[in-house]
Structures are given as C-alpha cells and as structure tokens.
Amino acid sequence: MKKYLISLGILLITTGHLFAQTTNEGQYFTSFDSTKIYYEVSGEGFPVILIHGFSGTGQGWKHCAVYNDLLKAGYKVILIDQRGNGQSDKPHNELAYANDAEAKDIMDLISSLHINQYDAVGYSRGSIITSRLLVLDKRLHKAVMGGMGDAYTNPDWPRRIHAYKALMGDTTLHDVDDMVKYIRSQHFDKLSLAYQQKYQPSTSVQELADVKIPVLIIRGTEDKENGSETGLNKLIPHSALSYVPGNHNTAIRTIEFSAAVLNFLSN
C-alpha cells in the first residue's frame, strides 16, 4: 500500500525575503512568496541537503542510515520540510505549488545560509525536485537521485495526473486507490498534497542532456516504481547507476544506500 505514497513522492532567488526564526528543534525561513519553510541544520563541513518524498518530512531521514553516517563523516546535514508538508506552511492557493516553487524554496534556503556550493540527496519525489535543482542552481555540486526512473520526464505522467484527480475526489482511478486510502487515514493536508501532484515538475530530456555535474542514481533491486532507472542513467551524461537491496520503501533505509551516497560524495 505505502509504495504509492513514496513513489508519488517527487531561478529566482529573492534574498530580500529571507528571515530566520528559531524554534526548539529547528528554524523557519520565509521563502520567495512569504511561505514559511521549516528546516534543520546539524554538523559542520561541506553542506548536504536531504530532500524527502511525497507526504514525507525531513524527519524521515533520521530513520535512515545515511543521515547519521553523513554527520559522522563530517558533513553539514540540512533537512527541510517541503511546502505543504510537516512543519512548513501549507498554502491552499494552488499556484503556490507551481513554477518550481519547491526548488526555489531550497535555493532560497541555501542563500539564507550563505552557502556557495552544496550537494543534494533526494528520494522518490525528492529526486524529482533534485532534478530541478540540476537545471536551476549552479551552486549544486553533486546530486543523488534515489528511487526514481525516467517516468517523471513525461509532463503528462499518468500516475501524477491520477493522483491529483483522486485526491480531489475522483473515485474512478483505481490504480491509486491504496495511496488515497493511506492519505485519508492520516492527518495530512490533503488539498496541499493534491496541488503538489498537480504542479509536480517534470524535467525534459533536453534539460537533462545539458547537466554537467556528477549525478548518482540509486535503485532498490526490488523497486519497480517510477519508470526505468537505466533509461534515466542514459539521459544524464555524467551519471552513475548503483543498486542496493530493497524495494521502493526499504532501499532508502539500508546501510548499502548510505554507503553508496557517502562513496559518491567523497570521491
């Protein structure tokens, strides 16, 4: 059931709008359109931002080996709750999710932290947002895309469209029944999640062909979600492909996933 949850989950820097507010666990900053975004920073060293999947939060990374392993290896680890999730604002204006809003949030956060260069690790829908950073942010040094194949390059990806329609009340799209059942069983902001699907970005084949930085694609050996990983590997010129044990839900938590990330970022 939860495979649908994670598999669906997925250049304007206006520094004048960036303000930080401290909380007990992390901080908020106000992004380009006045949306408050929650984030945490731990450790010192070269910065790495971890980007969660659909309906997730930054806290989910703390249950994965890679989070503590990055800290132990001396990295500065940044967690973010993408807009519409976790402790971040959940706008009900659908255009708040359009035009690469989530990638712009990350870019604004990087600016607010005065970071000149960083790495990004995304998983599932987080890899879709990471792909936009490949296109939009020249400060990105290396990128890891976990749990993602080439399906998201299609702007008319049926799963994305069906997810949006089902979350908005369409009961005829039974391929996403399990996802909708799970979402409705939780205390999620369902309208925000629907808009995240409606405006989930695609990255074109032409845009990926122009990527110049190193990219690592990580796939669970039992993961059959989100299209072809070998196809995505072929689309990104300087990419490598690594397999780790597990399906779409479990691969991210393995020590092998963590080892692949650390080896890639450190070399």
Domain boundaries, the chain: 2-150+205-262
> Residue 174's pLDDT is what?
86
25 exposure class (CB count in 10 Å sphere: 0-12, 13-18, 19+): exposed
Residue numbers of the chain with a pLDDT score lower than 50 = 1-24
Query: Whole-angstrom Cα distance, residue 184 to residue 193?
Result: 11
* Contact (CB, 8 A) for 173 and 150: no
> Residue 160's pLDDT is what?
95
> Residue 17's pLDDT is what?
38
Task: List all residues 6 or more positions away from 75 whose beta carbon is below 8 Å from its beta carbon.
Answer: 43, 45, 46, 47, 48, 265
Nearest CA to 124 out of 41, 223, 35, 221 is that of 223
Query: Whole-angstrom Cα distance, residue 41 to residue 244?
Result: 27
The string of pLDDT tens digits covering residues 65-89 is 999 999 999 999 999 999 999 999 9
Q: What is the pTM of this model?
A: 0.91
Q: What type of residue is 25?
A: E
Beta-sheet pairing, 36-42 with 27-30: antiparallel
Looking at domain 2-150+205-262, its CATH architecture is 3-Layer(aba) Sandwich (3.40)
Residue 242 DSSP SS3: strand
> Residue 87's pLDDT is what?
97
The string of pLDDT tens digits covering residues 227-266 is 999 999 999 999 999 999 999 999 999 999 999 999 999 9
